[in-house]
Amino acid sequence: MDLTFRSAGDLLRMIRDGEISARALLEHYIERIERLNPSINAVVVKDFERARKRADEADAALSRGENWGPLHGLPMTVKETYEVAGLLTTAGAPELKDYRSSTNAVAVQRLIDAGAVIFGKTNVPLYAGDLQSYNEIYGTTNNPWDLKRTPGGSSGGAAAALAAGFTPLELGSDIGGSIRTPAAFCGVCGHKPSWGLIPHRGHIPGPPGSLMHRDIAVMGPLARTAGDLEMAMDLLVGPDSDEAVAWEAKLPPARWGKLSEYRVAAWLNDEACPVESEVVETLEGLVGELRREGVSVDETARPEGIELGSSYDIYYRLLTSAMSAGLPRKVFDRMLDLAHKAPEEDCNYSVRFARGATIMHSEWLKLNEKRLHLRKAWETFFENFDVMICPVVHTLPFLHDHSHPVYDRTLTVNGKKLPYMDILTWVGFGGVVHLPATVIPVGRTRSGLPVAVQIIGPYLEDRTPLDFARHLEKLTGGFVPPPGY
């Protein structure tokens, strides 16, 4: 019986029905990790012995007729940035290389309370701040589809582990595409929830012990099927303990039950951030398939007054402001100096980051007001449409590039060199307005690399893009294992 790429839902049913034990399933993943992980370097923190004990306890409980919850006995990994009691949590930062968590992050605890068996943690870039996954502590994670290429970041280890069959479910985080880009690059599924649905407490960054809920940043699942994403969301969504005294979350159902009922807008390319031609071709093919299924697709519909370029500018300034929290004083002072001395017309990304990181609060409030107008335009747009489909990023999985600084890197798209940080454009225009977005694979390039679609839905209506993704999986075939795995 091949267990490797079964969905988490299938595996849970098998555990409940006694077709396999939690311990046997755990050993299956451990064997694959010990054999195949060295070439990929996705799982970087291993907690096998404690996991074996918990898996045995899960099996014993099941034999007594006890049920711990919806994830009873399911082995899984989580992103290294999440605190797990007793394990190192470094966020890839040398200054945190000896930091060992004493408690579980809220999101991790919810998975454990549902019965999950956490057996390891997956690699990230330094402070989860790059679209590649490498750091001085754990090294570089490779893409299972091509080891010379990045799996994306910052949840790159998570996506690579799923694609290679090391785990059936993962917990990631996303402020600049950190769930969505790795999912796209590794050919798996990811969901960026509506902002505010899942508590941040226990995630680094911010610093250890931080209680802040960072603007734009969200916690969310990665998996190999849209159904598994929704199952995880059901367990993760809800207020933190201090807010739970007054409110609880109940996500509305998906807007429709049939694929043909969905009203779809498609934004497949834009001169503000031109998309690699093979990605556009694949998405155009997807639009054609949807129309053959009777789905109404409008390729010209846009939220009124919203342009990709101007939306990205607001996003990037708010993003850098959010990411500045916790900067050492010396670093902040250098950025303040750069922001003041740079000519007004200087649009280099290092200058743009410095300006956003040192923004005055009064200026932030003005930016936030612009953001609120964008949110209103999207709200009105979703009165007539149910989802917007678009690229995740403008590029395909690219070769490892660890040159510094990141602001001087470039990416080649359609034969033209573009600034590296442009990779945030397509994930940013939904992220800045706090909208949910589901990513699933929908095809492959002529050279065999995965291509994904981003499905943006209405605020707090996360079940709508998740349900649409589930329908698309049936249409396109969904996840396919990389060759050799």
Catalytic residues: 79, 154, 178
Cα separation, 71 vs 55, in Å, equals: 12
Cα separation, 170 vs 197, in Å, equals: 17
Cα separation, 95 vs 340, in Å, equals: 29
Residues 6+ apart with CB under 8 A from 122: 42, 43, 44, 77, 78, 79, 80, 141, 155, 156, 157, 158, 160, 161, 167, 170
CA dihedral sign, ordered 411, 441, 106, 459: positive
Going across the sheet that includes 117-122, the strands are 43-46, 117-122, 75-79
Cα separation, 324 vs 148, in Å, equals: 32
CA angle, 49 as apex, 43 and 54 as ends, to 5°? Answer: 105
Name the nearest CA neighbour of 158 among 244, 232, 57. 232
Cα separation, 112 vs 107, in Å, equals: 9
Cα separation, 440 vs 450, in Å, equals: 10
Cα separation, 357 vs 136, in Å, equals: 25
Cα separation, 271 vs 309, in Å, equals: 9
- Encode burial over 257-272: b for 16+ CB neighbours within 10 A, e otherwise: eebeebbbbbbbbbeb
Residue in the block written with tokens 């740079």: 342
Residues 6+ apart with CB under 8 A from 168: 6, 7, 8, 11, 74, 75, 76, 162, 223, 224, 228
CA angle, 79 as apex, 75 and 84 as ends, to 5°? Answer: 70
